[in-house]
């Protein structure tokens, strides 16, 4: 290796290449930089962290198996921990749209860890003394390590971020359900009048929907715990110590405090990206239901003078550059946008899943980025929705009562007493005259105590 101005010259199997003098990455990363100037986006922090976890676990295992000298192994572990903690994030420079399977991303990690470990071992040594392939990548292939890193990152983000955020959202919706249970209002189907209900019942439906999706996400994400470290290139465990797979996964468990395990079938793991696809399918369903809930809340809060106005949302920012004092449901709109994006991301991951051929799916870099991005933006959206909107919602009991008393659907109570056809005529007359059902009954001298009792809204709930 020689130095030239602001660059150093490095050599790989394709020849020599200039690398920035102070970069910790090396020749293969530099080639990826030059080859893949596509989006300007890099792998998420959580993927880089997971790659650091894999490299530290591998070094620990290789030392335990007496395959790696402790001096080199300890330096690799220290360098990997720095990667885990984000110290060298600026050295991870490969575009997310890169060579298939994540080879460039894995080599970016191998080179950064190798050169930093060399520096830690002895600052006077030339970079490269600790080899990115022979030492840092020992007992590994991109095909098992990047795949595993994707699933480690996803599980950490689900367990520590999205699932707790969803549980808090459920809790706050459930609180609102209890708070709003005394408020009786008109139900609606097809956006038209329906029989009375409680505002709390509406919110209880929202809460249970989120609870159901939490359970579904817990179930669908369980397969992410299966990581095929030690499978190397295609699952045959070529060039791997027989004790390595179980030991390295145990070490990953120690570092993450999560119950990762060996796959039931290593070849199934190597061939497919089924676990991310399942999670993305659940995130898509979550998005669909969140769109329903946030759309409902926008309708219920519409107005405040010309809409339903049955609930009031907390004001978070001015809503118009031309209409003074206007306040829009900004948090609900943001959540809807995020959900639309996640639905699109699910389509991308499912489509990429069709690229699995023979022993590998080469679309893993895009799948990894999209999966983590989906979890991250959904976590941020759900947290913001809860704290800046749901907690501050208030029920408007007065307006709910007015809407309910004027609802044409109260005629439903008359059907068992006077029959469907006659009740329908009364409802139509009320609509034509723009008066209430009770007023029509009074005009016809039909408002008996029995009918008045039957039309009590609480009796219809």
Give the domain ranges of the chain.
23-138, 149-398, 406-460
pLDDT of residue 101: 95
For 93-115, what is each residue's pLDDT tens digit? 999 999 999 999 999 999 999 99
pLDDT digit string, tens, across residues 112-143:
999 999 999 988 766 668 999 999 999 999 99
pTM: 0.94
Query: Encoding tokens for residue 360?
Result: 């590998």
In whole angstroms, give the CA distance from residue 274 to residue 280. 10
* Model pLDDT, residue 33: 97
Nearest to 280 by CA among 333, 351, 226: 351
Among 4, 124, 190, 257, which one carries the catalytic annotation?
A: 190
Q: How far apart are CA 235 and CA 256, in angstroms?
A: 24
User: Rounded to an integer, what distance in angstroms lies between the CA atom of residue 113 and that of residue 124?
Assistant: 17
Give, in order, the Cα–Cα distances in Å from 348 to each of 194, 301, 354, 380: 40, 34, 10, 21
Domain 23-138 has CATH 3.30.70.600: no
Structure tokens given for 30 = 């530099």
Cβ contact 7:20 at 8 Å: yes
Tell me if residue 320 is catalytic: yes
415 catalytic per annotation: no
DSSP string, 120-173: HH-TTSPTTSS-IIIIITTT--HHHHHHHHHHHHHHHHIIIIIHHHHHHHHHHH
Specify which residues 8 forms β-bridges with: 3, 19
pLDDT score of 230: 96
Distance (Å, whole) CA 343 – CA 410: 39
Which residues are CB-neighbours of 406 under 8 A, at least 6 positions away?
436
Q: Which entry of 320, 336, 356, 407 is annotated as an active-site residue?
A: 320
Q: For residues 250 and 112, what is the distance between their CA atoms, to the nearest angstrom?
A: 24
Interhelix angle for 274-300 vs 364-388, to 10°? 30
Residue 129, pLDDT score:
87
Which residues are CB-neighbours of 222 under 8 A, at least 6 positions away? Answer: none
The reported pLDDT for the residue numbered 128 is 65
Intervals of the chain under pLDDT 50: 1-3
Q: Which residues of 163-181 are buried (b: 16+ CB within 10 A; e: fewer)?
A: bebbebbbebbbebbeebe
Q: Please give the Cα distance from 437 to 435 (Å, whole number).
A: 7
3.40.50.2000, 1.25.40.10, 3.40.50.1100, 1.20.200.10: CATH of 149-398: 1.20.200.10
Return the CATH fold of 406-460: Ribonucleotide Reductase Protein R1; domain 1 (1.10.40)
């Amino acid at each position: 290796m020689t130095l030239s101005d602001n660059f150093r010259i490095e050599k790989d199997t394709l020849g020599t290449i200039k690398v920035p003098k102070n970069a910790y990455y090396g020749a293969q990363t530099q080639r990826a930089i030059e080859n893949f100037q596509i989006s300007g986006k890099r792998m998420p922090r959580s993927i880089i962290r997971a790659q650091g976890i894999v490299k530290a676990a591998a070094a620990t295992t290789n030392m335990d198996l007496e395959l790696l000298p402790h001096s080199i192994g300890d330096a690799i572990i220290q360098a990997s921990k720095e990667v885990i903690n984000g110290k060298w994030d600026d050295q991870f420079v490969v575009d997310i749209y890169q060579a298939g399977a994540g080879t460039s991303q894995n080599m970016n990690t191998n080179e950064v860890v190798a050169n930093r470990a060399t520096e830690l071992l002895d600052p006077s040594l030339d970079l490269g003394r600790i080899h990115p392939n022979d030492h840092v990548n020992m007992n590994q292939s991109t095909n098992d390590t990047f795949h595993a890193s994707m699933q480690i990152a996803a599980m950490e983000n689900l367990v520590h971020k999205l699932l707790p955020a969803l549980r808090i959202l459920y809790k706050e919706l459930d609180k609102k359900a209890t708070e709003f249970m005394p408020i009786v209002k008109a139900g609606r189907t097809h956006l038209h009048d329906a029989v009375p209900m409680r505002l709390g019942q509406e919110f209880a439906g929202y809460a249970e929907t989120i609870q159901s999706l939490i359970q579904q996400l817990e179930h669908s994400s369980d397969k992410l715990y299966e990581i095929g470290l030690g499978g190397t290139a295609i699952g045959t465990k070529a060039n791997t110590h027989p004790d390595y797979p179980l030991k390295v996964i145990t070490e990953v468990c120690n570092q993450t405090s999560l119950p990762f395990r060996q796959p039931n079938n290593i070849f199934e793991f190597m061939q497919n990206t089924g676990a991310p696809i399942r999670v993305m399918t659940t995130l898509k369903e979550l998005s669909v239901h969140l769109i329903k809930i946030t759309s409902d809340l926008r309708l219920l809060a519409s107005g405040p003078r010309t809409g339903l106005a049955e609930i009031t949302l907390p004001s978070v920012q001015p809503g118009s550059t031309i209409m003074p004092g206007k306040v829009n449901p900004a948090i609900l709109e943001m959540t809807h946008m995020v959900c639309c994006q996640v639905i699109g991301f699910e389509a991308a991951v499912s489509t990429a899943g069709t690229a699995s051929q023979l022993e590998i799916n080469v679309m893993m870099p895009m799948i990894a980025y999209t999966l983590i991005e989906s979890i991250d933006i959904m976590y941020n959206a759900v947290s913001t929705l809860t704290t800046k909107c749901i907690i501050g919602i208030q029920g408007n009991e007065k307006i709910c009562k007015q809407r309910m008393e004027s609802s044409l659907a109260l005629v439903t109570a008359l059907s068992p007493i006077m029959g469907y056809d006659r009740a329908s005529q009364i409802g139509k007359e009320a609509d034509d005259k723009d008066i209430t059902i009770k007023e029509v009954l009074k005009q016809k001298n039909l408002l008996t105590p029995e009918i008045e009792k039957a039309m009590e809204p609480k009796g219809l709930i």
